[in-house]
């Protein structure tokens, strides 16, 4: 499977399941998803800072999908490689060596994003 | 691989490794597995409620295998789709957006279980 | 400090800080608090079951304040001592011995609630 | 105990134990503390952004001491009340309602810091 | 309160609540407590090694009571100061800076234990 | 894919990404990796004990890659099957049934290592 296809598969599953989940009648779940989207809108803090906060939170909680998602969002928001690695260093020192396998996969994802030479195909409305 | 095969593979690995682990001489490990089975037997609380407790605990601790296991057990115990989503909503609100990727995979697992039109092939004696 | 005073202090700090937090202009935080309240309203699952789900989730995530809160809510909803201990047993087996110190404090809180011979003074609108 | 005394006690214990720990011959522990200090120095990201990252990481991992520490550092670095609450909102949505008790104590700490009308007495060299 | 009294209070609450919990009819909880005791009995691994494993597990999961308990048990089993700090260093590097506040309290507890010039008053049968 | 190939793939990805990460200019990340390597060098505690500490820490924090890594290191250091299972039992009792899926994969990894009849192909310099 090509690099583009792997990122596409990643995005497609997220989008398909988000739709599946939001089609249910549960209002709490729907509102949570809407709130999640609202959280990252620029305000007192910039979009870039908020996405970096989401990225570091995802790294110390060690969720690969969330990490990939926020890496793509950060990249879209203009985060540079040096900035990424400083955010990674905070996550690594706060969260410890247990974060390393997720860092490896996160850097691999970032490399693949950059290798494409294109912006990541991330959904317009985010849900984590 | 067909949907039935994926669930079968999931179940087969669990059963095979449980046997492998229980064949070792370690008494603490064996007793833990027995205790795990005993935990979900109906008592003051019904089987259904206990399995829902196990499901929500697994979701906030973010363990996909445990989530799949308890979804299958809940389904077997008669949990309805609306009840599943209310349990999911508690897990989501308590555990936060970091739970979302596990929710997506959990709903996908539930969809596949229901798509089969048959009860899940889960082991009679559970070990998480 | 008397038992009643300790529970009162616990409740007062929660109420005072919730008001303090909700007085800020941040809409995401306010909506999260409202959603948290909505989550436990009876629906397909009863109030009692939802509060038990919140309790077990709080135990495996090891948050004393959340455990106390949900114990008080469960008691209010009519959960019996035997039912409490079955919920505790699920949390203990899923979460491991690391849950034990929280179980000790949770049982101590429950004992004090019952020792009062009165319903706990918990806020009408919950925020975890 | 007055508000100033509580924050002073908090800082004194941290400083005293840090000295105690660094007086031991263990080189890994010493290097970890040095690395922790180095992590938050401004680079590609500003001091303010790095402290906000440390704050949100501490909130989702639910460590009161770390939260208080980073709130004091953020305040020192000029983070405004609106910015604090946007960072809190990210932590709350990513980490869930289990974060709320820590948010309450964090906001209480921030209120006390501001109530003093002075900068917090935090150590010059940080160790988380 | 003197140092001896603080450690005594810590031990007394644990013992009193363990008795309280074990007096309930719940067999799963009782068996879990018995299994917890059995886990640390010397076997292929020595008591000292097992207690060190329990200590490091408690540190990375960040449970102060469990850390204090295992520090007392390790001390009883003859763990030296240098060995303690090497175990601490593993916990610190695996678990990250979020472990530091617990390390501070753990070292404070160890200092107080040693300051007494006597073995810690820990219960004969352990429950974490 | 043969068993040898699966372990080789696991090792290759780790080595390749470690090189990738260390090629970046970020000094905090580099120092963290060096510190991680230093942590497990024999000192007051033996290599074997330190690797067992790393293994149990990885199990209760539930990181499959870290578990596989430390199992390979422990095996290299001469840990016997009975010792492995006693370490597993500590992790299981401290961390709870949520550890079981990781235990299954860990035992599977250990079986494959032993099935090879050769020492695992792990990197000389470890980064968890």
H helices present in chain B, as ranges:
3-22, 27-39, 47-60, 64-76, 81-95, 100-115
CA distance C114 to F79: 51
Which of these, F111, F27, F8, F109, lies nearest to F68 by C-alpha position? F109
CA distance B99 to C60: 15
CA distance F21 to F128: 14
Cβ–Cβ of A17/B108 closer than 8 Å? yes
Residue-wise pLDDT for D52-99, tens only, equals 999 999 999 999 999 999 999 999 999 999 999 999 999 999 999 999
The residues, any chain, with a CB within 8 Å of residue F71's CB and separated by 6 or more, are F55, F84, F106, F109, F110, F113
| Beta-carbon pairs below 8 A across chains C and F | 28
Residues in chain B: 128
E45 near B CB under 8 A: no
Q: Does the structure show a pLDDT above 50 at F123?
A: no
Q: Which residue has the tokens 């690995």?
A: B13
CA distance B98 to A64: 10
Tell me the C-alpha to C-alpha distance, in Å, between residue F90 and each of D57, D72, E124, F59.
28, 38, 19, 10
Residue-wise pLDDT for F47-82, tens only, equals 999 999 999 999 999 999 999 999 999 999 999 999
CA distance E51 to E43: 12
Would you state the pLDDT for residue E13?
Answer: 95
| For testing contact with chain B, the best of D88, D94, D96, D97 (most B CBs within 10 A) | D96
Q: Does the structure show a pLDDT above 80 at E9?
A: yes
Residue-level pLDDT, tens digit, chain A, 128 residues: 566 777 888 889 999 999 999 999 999 999 999 999 999 999 999 999 999 999 999 999 999 999 999 999 999 999 999 999 999 999 999 999 999 999 999 999 999 998 854 344 444 444 44
| Beta-carbon pairs below 8 A across chains B and E | 16
C92 near E CB under 8 A: yes
Which one-letter DSSP state was computed for residue E99? G
Residue B118 Cα, gap to closest chain F Cα (Å): 25
Would you state the pLDDT for residue D3?
Answer: 62
What average pLDDT does this structure show over C81-103?
98
For residues D36 and F10, the model is more confident at D36
Q: Does the structure show a pLDDT above 60 at E1?
A: no
Q: Which of the other chains make 3 or more beta carbon contacts under 8 angstroms with chain E?
A: A, B, C, D, F
Query: Which residues in B lie closer than 8 A to residue E35 (C-beta atoms)?
Result: 28, 31-32, 35
Residue F94 Cα, gap to closest chain C Cα (Å): 5
Judge residue E107's burial from the number of C-beta atoms within 10 Å of its C-beta, 0-12 exposed, 13-18 middle, 19 or more buried.
buried
Q: Which residue has the tokens 């939170």?
A: A57
CA distance B27 to B33: 10
Would you state the pLDDT for residue C2?
Answer: 65
Confidence of residue F6 (pLDDT cuts 50, 70, 90): confident
pTM: 0.92
Least confident span in A34-38, A110-114, B99-103, E81-85: A110-114
Burial E15-34 (b: 16+ CB within 10 A, else e): eebbeebeebebebbebbbe
SS3 category, C46: coil
Query: For chain D, what is the mean pLDDT?
Result: 90
What average pLDDT does this structure show over C54-83?
98
Query: Which residues in D lie closer than 8 A to residue E100 (C-beta atoms)?
Result: 33, 36, 66, 127-128
Query: Which residues in D lie closer than 8 A to residue B98 (C-beta atoms)?
Result: 60, 94-96
Tell me the C-alpha to C-alpha distance, in Å, between residue F17 and each of A74, A80, A100, D35.
21, 19, 10, 22
A94 near F CB under 8 A: no
- Measured at the CA of E109, the angle between CA C3 and CA F96, to 5 degrees, comes to 75
Tokens of F65: 């890659």
CA distance D90 to C28: 9
Cβ–Cβ of A94/D52 closer than 8 Å? no
Q: Does the structure show a pLDDT above 50 at D121?
A: no
SS3 category, B121: coil
> Which sign, positive or negative, has the C-alpha torsion E85, E87, E88, E90?
positive
The count of other CB atoms within 10 Å of the CB of residue E125 is 11
The count of other CB atoms within 10 Å of the CB of residue B34 is 15
CA distance F49 to F43: 10
Residue A41: phi, psi to the nearest 5?
Answer: -70, 140
Residue-wise pLDDT for B38-88, tens only, equals 999 999 999 999 999 999 999 999 999 999 999 999 999 999 999 999 999
For residues E14 and A116, the model is more confident at E14
Please report, rounded to a whole number, the percentage of residues in chain B having pLDDT higher than 90.
80
Would you state the pLDDT for residue D1?
Answer: 56
Query: For chain F, what is the mean pLDDT?
Result: 90
Which of these, A57, F79, C38, B113, lies nearest to D93 by C-alpha position? A57
Q: Does the structure show a pLDDT above 60 at E16?
A: yes
Tell me the C-alpha to C-alpha distance, in Å, between residue D117 and each of B120, D6, D11, D120, F79.
63, 15, 17, 9, 59
CB D92 within 8 A of CB C32: yes
Would you state the pLDDT for residue A61?
Answer: 98
**Side-chain half-sphere exposure of D31, counting CA atoms within 13 A:** 17
Query: Which residues in B lie closer than 8 A to residue D97 (C-beta atoms)?
Result: 93-94, 96
Query: Which residues in E lie closer than 8 A to residue D29 (C-beta atoms)?
Result: 85, 88-89, 92
Query: Which residues in A lie closer than 8 A to residue C28 (C-beta atoms)?
Result: 35, 38-39
H helices present in E40-123, as ranges:
47-60, 64-76, 81-95, 100-115
CB F52 within 8 A of CB F79: yes
Tell me the C-alpha to C-alpha distance, in Å, between residue D14 and each of D48, D68, D128.
22, 12, 10
Would you state the pLDDT for residue E125?
Answer: 43
Confidence of residue E83 (pLDDT cuts 50, 70, 90): very high
Q: Please report the DSSP string for D40-85 in residue order.
A: TS-SSS-HHHHHHHHHHHHHHTT-HHHHHHHHHHHHHTT--HHHHH
Q: Which residue has the tokens 């908020």?
A: A50
Q: Does the structure show a pLDDT above 80 at C82?
A: yes
Task: Report the run of H or E that residue D81 belongs to, with start and end.
Answer: helix D81-95
CB A62 within 8 A of CB A98: yes
The residues, any chain, with a CB within 8 Å of residue D48's CB and separated by 6 or more, are D74, D77, D78, D79
CB A75 within 8 A of CB A53: no
Please report, rounded to a whole number, the percentage of residues in chain D having pLDDT higher than 90.
80
Least confident span in C10-19, C88-97, C107-116, D66-75: C107-116
């Amino acid at each position: 499977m090509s690099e583009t296809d792997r990122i596409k598969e990643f995005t497609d599953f997220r989008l398909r399941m988000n739709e599946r989940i939001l089609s249910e009648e549960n209002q709490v779940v729907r509102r949570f998803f809407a709130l999640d989207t609202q959280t990252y809108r620029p305000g007192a803090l910039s979009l870039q800072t908020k996405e970096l906060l989401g990225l570091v939170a995802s790294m110390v909680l060690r969720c690969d999908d969330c990490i990939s998602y926020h890496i793509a969002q950060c990249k879209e928001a203009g985060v540079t490689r040096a900035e990424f690695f400083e955010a990674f260093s905070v996550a690594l020192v706060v969260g410890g060596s247990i974060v390393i396998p997720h860092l490896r996969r996160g850097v691999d994802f970032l490399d693949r994003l950059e290798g494409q030479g294109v912006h990541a195909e991330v959904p317009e409305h985010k849900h984590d």
